[in-house]
Chains A and B, each alone.
Chain A
Amino acid sequence: MASAASTSISSPSFARTHIKSGDNVLLRLPSGDYRNLKVHDKPGRITLGKFGSFQQKELIGHPFGLSYEIISEGKIRVREQETMTELEDTSATNELINDGNFVQPLTYEEIETLKKTPGVHSSEIIKMQITQNANYELKSEYSKEKYKKRKEAKFLQGFSILEPNMFNICEYLFSKDPQRIRGIRADSLGQMMSFANIHPGARVLVVDDTGGLLVAAVLERLGGEGRLLTITDSESPPTYHVVEQLNLNTTEADGTMTYLNWAEIEEEWAPVETYEPEEYRTHSQKARSEKRHARAEDLRKRRDEFWAGEWNALVVASEYEPFSIIERVEPYLAGSGSIVVHSPYLQTLTDVHQKLRAKPQFLGPAVTEAWLRQYQVLPGRTHPMMNMSGSGGYLLSAMKVYV
């Protein structure tokens, strides 16, 4: 399996280090929000609301992962990343600081006019607000820093581009709408890939009701070698939107990927035979018939491939009952193959765990939960982040053995 396709993949799209025309890019705005868009090497403005707008082709050829400021006329400039500074400890407290309208004499209208004035840079607006702020000098150095950061999040004209790796993509999707990816947090996704032993050359079965998060993660780890078969609940070929974020070319994705639905994997089931006339009256009739034959042939090949078995892993994040999935797929898993199921609900997995324990062909079933805490680490200001998700979901893992 692995040795059959050992030619190394070093095509530029798998390297994915620089932005090329047609790529999907993830932008992070100064406010912390994300924007997901496609860039092309042709004229066209990308508008980021109050954070400005710029010409999309300016980005082509740049490495992923940089921060930019919008200067003027849609032009952008790489922003020198600030390094952290040690802040002086002062005796300042908020004892004498009172809030109210008098604190900031600069009005909303005045700021808006400034923003529209050509030649006035966003950093100058922020500076003006600081100098006019009645309380600024009373603040401690830490508080001043926080005030500056808050103003930057509001007025800075710029953005950052994220590297298109699965960790970033998953964080973006999780922050946007965790339910759409069934609550899979980036660290849980990483654990799934480890538990399932996904590596170049592996043959992997995936049941994905997350819009393609699992499919994308597995594709990334296969790197163009091996096989990925998804089992779907639909009559038509599946579409996995998340995969687009990886900017793979079609042959890379399609060459590794195939699919079947839950009826098609059943060995006893045969698709209804289509009626074929003895003779074709027209040319197009014949062409249609040939197309039907080709489709039937393609399906037969895909089914044979699935039934040939020896799949190395089953990875599941599905809206359906996991044991019903495992039960149907288990006969086609290779000995020592991995089973990994994610669920946002512990109860679902403990039920499956009990069922697996009763069957000798499943070795070492375990239910685990990923726990993660992120910290801000600034000199003198190290603390856990304020807003963190409580859970990235639960994982059930087991191995298939021959008994």
Chain B
Amino acid sequence: MFSQAREIAAGDVVIVWFTRESLKAITITPGEELNGRFGAYRHTDLIGKPFGSKIGSRNGKGFIYVLRPTPELWTLALPHRTQILYVADIAFVVSWLGIRPGSVVIESGTGSGSFSHSVARTIGKSGKLHSFEFHDTRCQTAQEEFAQHGMSEYVTVSHRNVCKAGFDLEDVVDAVFLDLPAPWEAIPAAKLALKKTQSTRICCFSPCAEQVLRTVSALNDSGFTSITMYETLLRTIDVGSYPPLKSVGTVAEKLKDADVKREARRVKQIEESAMRAKEKGRKKAAEMGGQEMDIFGESEHPHGQKRKAGEDREANGQSNTPQEDDSEAGPHTKKPKPDGPSPLTLEMVGHLPKSADCKLTTTSTGF
């Protein structure tokens, strides 16, 4: 089954790995070319390369891996003609049925041949797989495929509706696997095919609970014992793809920083306001002919100052920004909003020595 040689030869089936999600099975045919997203590969260039080689595309932009086919890789690369079984189910069924080198096994239906390849691998040349498929074209395709994969010696595919015509086998098989819409119809025939002088096993694969229950009664009626049901899955663990999470310690530091900045901002605003008032006073004085104004006195009356700061902002069209520079509102306004991201605040903190930190906080608003 498949080439066991070290190097690839003409006529070999090779699994081409583009990415983890994109695999393709090809038969090495001199003269043919394989096209990938990032370039083309001549089949002739693969001949003589060991299985498992990395091959660059002819334009030098892409690369592929050429792998030795295994039933598992084949299952990922195979052309789907039907719904197929995947490795978790296949591995479980093969081991539960006790299939091993030399086993004689029945499988129906053949479908896309996913399960057939695993059984063929395990029973080896000393075993025998009788596969049955009721769809004519699928049966022929499977026959051709199995021949190409070097399995025909011990795998036969018959075109037959086993639910109506049975298996035409008696007292010869160790294990039966039924993947049919109505497996209960094939159970009496399966009983006939199973060896009579030893304990044997049967497994029916059904997606629906109702099918399972009908199968269970049919198995019971045919005298099968120790009937049980399994459900199995393969959970792929996503390694390393979760986002690195920050410690809340960083949040605490950020909040503390914000607190310091807010206070600095407030002081700055007071100063600026005082400056403006001073300027105003100066202008007024100039208008009124050099009359002096007590600007410092006004800065000592925060309520008056507050109103002015608010008016200033309104004038700049930013009345909707949080009023967190409101120095009189008390501690409850120190909400965990370190980034208070208004252009105004940014502009103002721009004067602080730790301006880089401040930019960082304004971008991360996802708290």
Q: Which residues of A contact B (CB under 8 A)?
A: 1-3, 6, 8-10, 14-15, 17-18, 63-66, 81-84, 163, 165-168, 186-187, 189-191, 193-195, 197, 199-201, 220-225, 310, 334-338, 346, 349-350, 353-354, 357, 360, 363-364, 366-377, 379, 382, 394, 399-403
Contact = CB atoms under 8 A, between A and B. Distances in A.
A364 B50 CA distance: 18
Interface stretch (B28-36, B87-95, B327-335, B345-353): B87-95
A221 B100 contact: yes
Contacts of A369: 234-235, 237
B232 A167 contact: no
Contacts of A310: 6
A83 B1 CA distance: 41
B6 to A, nearest CB: 7
Contacts of A349: 237
B220 A84 contact: yes
Contacts of A399: 52, 67
Given A163-B199, A364-B17, A83 B225 contact: yes
B51 interface: yes
Given A9-B101, A379-B217, A167 B96 contact: yes
Contact of B124 (A3, A17, A199, A346): A199
B237 A336 contact: no
Contacts of B236: 366-368
B126 interface: yes
Contact of A190 (B95, B125, B225): B95
Nearest to B65: A401
A191 B88 contact: yes
Contacts of B356: none
B212 interface: yes
B240 A403 contact: no
Q: Ordered nearest first, which 5 A-B pairs have the shortest CB separation?
A: A335-B52, A223-B101, A65-B199, A190-B95, A8-B126
30 contacts: A15-B102, A17-B198, A65-B198, A84-B216, A84-B220, A84-B227, A166-B95, A189-B95, A190-B94, A194-B71, A194-B87, A197-B72, A200-B125, A200-B126, A221-B122, A223-B126, A225-B124, A334-B52, A335-B6, A335-B52, A335-B68, A368-B235, A370-B233, A371-B233, A371-B235, A372-B231, A374-B229, A375-B229, A377-B228, A401-B67
A224 B100 CA distance: 11
A163 B98 contact: yes
Interface string B109-129: 000000000100110111000
Nearest to B19: A364
A360 B126 CA distance: 38
Chain B CB within 10 Å — which of A168, A199, A374 has the most? A199
B202 to A, nearest CB: 13
A223 B102 CA distance: 8
B199 A400 contact: no
